[in-house]
Amino acid sequence: MLDSGKIVRARLKGKLRLEELKLTNPVSVGDRVTIGNSDDDESIVIHEIEERKNKIIRQSPRKKRFYHIIAANIDQAFIIASITMPKTKVGFISRVLIALEYYDISTTVVFNKVDLYQKKEAAMLAWLREDLETIGYKTMLTSASNGEGIVELEKEMKDKINVVTGPSGVGKSTLLNQLNPALELRTGDVSSYNEKGQHTTPFSRMHKLPKGGFVIDTPGIKEYGLANIDAYELSFYFPEMKPLINECQFNNCQHVNEPKCAVRAALSNGEIAEWRYRNYLLIREELLIENKPYL
Instruction: Provide the binding-site residues for ligand GDP, judged by CB under 6 A.
Output: 112-113, 115-116, 143-145, 166, 168-174, 187-188
Question: CB under 5 to 8 A by kind: which of ligand GDP, Zn ion, none does 261 bind?
Answer: Zn ion
**Position 272 contacts Zn ion (CB under 5 A):** no
8 phi/psi in degrees, rounded to 5 = -130, 150
CB of 116 to ligand GDP, least distance (A): 5
Q: Any residues with CB less than 8 A from the CB of 20 and at least 6 apart, and which?
A: none
Radius of gyration for the alpha carbons in the chain, expressed in angstroms and rounded = 21
Q: Name which position in 45, 56, 110, 248 contacts Zn ion (CB under 5 A).
A: 248
168 to 79, 144, 196: CA distances (angstroms): 12, 15, 10
Annotate each residue in 203-242 with x if it binds Zn ion (CB under 5 A) or - if it does not, as one string. ----------------------------------------
Residue 86: cis peptide before it, omega within 30 degrees of 0: yes
Q: What angle do CA 244, 232, 139 make, to 5 degrees?
A: 55
Query: Of the two residues 174 and 204, which places its CB atom closer to ligand GDP in the complex?
Result: 174
| Secondary structure (3-state) at 117 | coil
Query: Does 284 sit near Zn ion (CB under 5 A)?
Result: no
CB nearer Zn ion, residue 256 or residue 289: 256
Q: How many CB atoms lie within 10 A of CB 140?
A: 17
Beta-strand relationship, 10-12 and 205-208 = unpaired
d(CA 51, CA 281): 36
User: Could you give the CA distance from residue 225 to residue 100 in angstroms, rounded to a whole number?
Assistant: 7
Candidates 58, 113, 255, 276; binder of Zn ion (CB under 5 A) is 255
Q: Which of 2, 5, 1 is nearest to 206 (CA)?
A: 5
> Toward Zn ion, which CB reaches closer, 56 or 261?
261
25 phi and psi angles, rounded to 5 deg: -130, 105
How far apart CA 10 and CA 42 sit, in angstroms, is 11
Residue 84: name its binding partner from Zn ion, ligand GDP, none (Cβ under 5 to 8 Å by kind): none
- Residues that bind Zn ion (rule: CB under 5 A) add up to a total of 5
For ligand GDP, give the closer residue by CB, 147 or 243. Answer: 147
From the list 261, 266, 283, 287, which residue makes contact with Zn ion (rule: CB under 5 A)? Answer: 261
Q: Minimum distance between the CB of residue 187 and ligand GDP, rounded to whole angstroms?
A: 3
- Residue whose C-alpha is closest to residue 162's, from 202, 110, 218, 211: 218
- The entry of Zn ion, ligand GDP, none that residue 58 binds, CB within 5 to 8 Å by partner kind: none
**Residue 186 CB, nearest distance to ligand GDP (Å)?**
7
Least separation in angstroms between CB 61 and ligand GDP: 24
Residue 249 beta carbon to Zn ion: minimum distance, rounded to whole angstroms: 8
Interatomic CA distance for residues 155 and 210, integer angstroms: 11
Q: Which is nearer to ligand GDP, 25 or 177 (CB)?
A: 177
Comparing CB distances to ligand GDP, the nearer of 28 and 88 is: 88
Q: Which residues bind Zn ion (CB under 5 A)?
A: 248, 253, 255, 261, 263
